[in-house]
C-alpha cells in the first residue's frame, strides 16, 4: 500500500544529541556524563508524599493551570526569593516539564514572520518551537572562554519584526551566569520596543561561589514583558517527573494557558500534591542546593587537575565544560562518540548547540552524579 507523502514542518531536525549520547552510553556500558540528569534519587520525604497521594485517591484530572496549593506555594517561594508576589490564580501555571512551558511561551508571542533572538550555544528546543509558530531565529554566538553575551551585537541584531529574546541563566551548556551588567544591558536593548522576554531559569538554585541568580522576576519593568520558566525536576533530582512552571503577568499567562490547555492540558495529580507539601515543609532543600552541587563541581574539577583538559570551574548549573584542544584536534561530535565507545565515558559535544559552530574544542560533562561515579569517570579522563 502506498504511503502518503508527508512534508515535514521540521525537515532539518533530527533526534536530539541527548537521546543519541545516552543511548550510545547505554549500548556501550559507558559512564553517562552526557544527559543532564542525576544518578541518585529525589528526597525521601518528597517521594513519600507523592506515594501518599498516589495511594489515597489523588489520581484524577487536576485543574488545567495546576492545583491551587502548588501554585500558592510557588507564589510564596518567588516572593521570598525575588520580591515578586505573583497572583497564584492568574500568574502561575504548572506545566509538564520546562520544555512544554518554553513551547507554550514561544507560541504565545511568535507568529508568522516574527523573529526570536537566541544566544548560542543554546538549548535545542527553542528554535523548533519558533519554527512551528511560523517565526524564525537570529542566532547571536557567545564564544570561549567566557561565553558572555556581546550586547553591542544584540543591539545590531534587532529588527522591526524582532518579537522575542530567549535567555537562559544559569546557562546550559556553558555554565555561565548572568550578572547585573547583563540585566542593565538587556533593559537598554528592549526599552521602548515591543519585545517579549522568555527566561529559561531551570537552574535558578544552582549558582556557585556566592553569585546571585538574577531572575527576571526581580525586576518589575522586565517582568512586565516576561515569561519566567523554572523546573522542579532539576531542583529535586526528579527529572523524569517532568514537572515545571511558568510565572508571567496575567495578560501573558492568559495567552500561555490558551496554548497549554491543548498541549498537555495538565500535569500528574499526585506529583503536584507531593511537590506542594514538600515546598511548604522543606524550603531548605532549594536553599541548600547550590552548596550541594558546588561540592560536586569542586570534586570533579579537582579530579581533572591531573588531566590534560583546560577548564574554568562552572559558575552555575550541574555542567562542566572542558577544552580538549591539548589532547586532540578531532571535531567534538566525532570525539564524543569515539570516547564513549573506546573509553566508556559519555559527554555532549558543544558545537551542536550553535547555528554556525566556531572553531572550538569543548565537551560538556554532567556532574550531577554520585561521587563514586565522578571519581571513576575522572580516572578515565585523566588517562587521555
How far is residue 72 from each of residues 53, 75, 193, 235, measured CA to CA in Å? 18, 5, 32, 18
Question: How far does the chain reach from its first CA to its final CA, in angstroms?
Answer: 53
Q: What is the pLDDT of residue 255?
A: 98
The segment(s) of the chain belonging to CATH 3.90.1150.10 are 17-42+285-381
pLDDT grade, residue 137 (50/70/90)? very high
Question: Taking the C-alpha atoms of 207, 179, 355 and 144 in order, what is their torsion angle to the nearest 10 degrees?
Answer: -80
The answer, yes or no, to whether residue 1 has pLDDT greater than 80, is: no
Instruction: Average the pLDDT over 372-377 and give the result.
Output: 97
DSSP alpha helix (H) spans, the chain? 17-28, 44-55, 68-82, 98-109, 126-132, 151-157, 180-190, 220-223, 232-236, 250-260, 269-281, 284-303, 332-342, 371-381
Closest CA to 230 of 46, 78, 83: 78
How far is residue 142 from each of residues 148, 196, 197, measured CA to CA in Å? 6, 21, 19
Q: What pTM, to 2 d.p., does this model score?
A: 0.97
How far is residue 294 from each of residues 79, 208, 253, measured CA to CA in Å? 25, 6, 34
Q: Does the domain made of 17-42+285-381 have the CATH classification 3.90.1150.10?
A: yes
Cβ(315)–Cβ(170) below 8 Å: yes
* pLDDT tens column, 274-328: 999 999 999 999 999 999 999 999 999 999 999 999 999 999 999 999 999 999 9
**Nearest-angstrom CA–CA distance, 93 and 196:** 18
The segment(s) of the chain belonging to CATH 3.40.640.10 are 44-284
**Nearest-angstrom CA–CA distance, 368 and 37:** 7
Q: Does the domain made of 44-284 have the CATH classification 3.40.640.10?
A: yes
How far is residue 358 from each of residues 111, 140, 157, 361, 364, measured CA to CA in Å? 30, 12, 19, 9, 16
* pLDDT tens column, 171-208: 999 999 999 999 999 999 999 999 999 999 999 999 99
Amino acid at each position: 500500500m502506498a504511503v502518503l507523502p508527508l512534508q515535514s514542518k521540521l525537515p532539518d531536525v533530527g533526534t536530539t544529541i541527548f537521546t543519541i549520547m545516552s543511548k550510545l552510553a547505554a549500548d556501550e556500558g559507558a559512564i553517562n556524563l552526557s544527559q543532564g540528569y542525576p544518578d541518585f534519587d529525589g528526597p525521601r520525604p518528597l517521594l513519600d508524599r507523592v506515594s501518599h497521594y498516589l495511594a489515597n485517591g489523588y489520581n484524577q484530572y487536576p485543574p488545567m493551570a495546576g492545583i491551587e496549593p502548588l501554585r500558592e506555594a510557588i507564589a510564596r517561594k518567588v516572593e521570598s526569593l525575588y520580591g515578586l508576589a505573583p497572583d497564584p490564580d492568574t500568574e502561575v501555571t504548572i506545566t509538564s516539564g520546562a520544555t512544554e512551558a518554553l513551547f507554550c511561551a514561544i507560541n504565545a508571542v511568535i507568529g508568522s514572520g516574527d523573529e526570536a533572538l537566541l544566544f548560542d550555544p543554546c538549548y535545542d528546543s527553542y528554535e523548533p518551537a519558533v519554527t512551528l509558530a511560523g517565526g524564525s531565529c537570529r542566532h547571536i554566538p557567545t564564544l570561549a572562554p567566557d561565553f558572555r553575551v556581546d550586547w553591542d551585537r544584540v543591539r545590531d541584531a534587532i529588527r522591526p519584526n524582532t518579537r522575542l529574546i530567549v535567555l537562559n541563566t544559569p546557562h546550559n551548556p556553558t555554565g555561565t551566569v548572568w550578572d547585573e551588567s547583563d540585566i542593565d544591558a538587556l533593559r537598554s536593548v528592549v526599552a521602548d520596543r515591543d519585545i517579549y522576554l522568555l527566561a529559561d531559569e531551570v537552574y535558578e538554585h544552582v549558582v556557585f561561589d556566592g553569585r546571585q541568580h538574577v531572575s527576571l522576576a526581580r525586576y518589575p519593568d522586565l517582568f512586565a514583558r516576561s515569561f519566567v520558566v523554572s523546573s522542579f525536576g532539576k531542583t529535586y533530582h526528579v527529572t523524569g517527573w517532568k514537572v515545571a512552571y511558568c510565572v508571567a503577568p496575567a495578560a501573558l499567562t492568559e495567552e500561555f494557558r490558551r496554548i497549554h490547555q491543548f498541549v498537555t492540558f495538565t500535569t500528574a495529580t499526585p506529583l503536584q500534591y507531593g511537590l506542594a507539601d514538600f515546598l511548604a515543609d522543606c524550603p531548605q532543600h532549594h536553599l541548600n542546593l547550590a552548596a550541594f552541587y558546588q561540592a560536586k563541581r569542586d570534586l570533579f574539577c579537582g579530579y581533572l587537575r591531573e588531566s590534560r583538559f583546560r577548564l574554568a570551574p562552572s559558575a552555575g548549573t550541574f555542567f562542566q565544560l572542558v577544552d580538549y584542544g591539548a589532547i586532540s584536534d578531532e571535531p567534538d561530535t566525532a570525539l564524543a562518540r569515539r570516547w564513549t565507545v573506546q573509553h566508556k565515558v559519555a559527554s555532549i559535544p558543544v558545537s551542536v548547540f550553535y547555528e554556525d559552530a566556531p572553531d572550538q574544542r569543548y565537551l560538556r560533562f554532567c556532574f550531577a552524579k554520585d561521587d563514586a561515579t565522578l571519581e571513576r569517570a575522572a580516572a578515565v579522563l585523566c588517562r587521555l
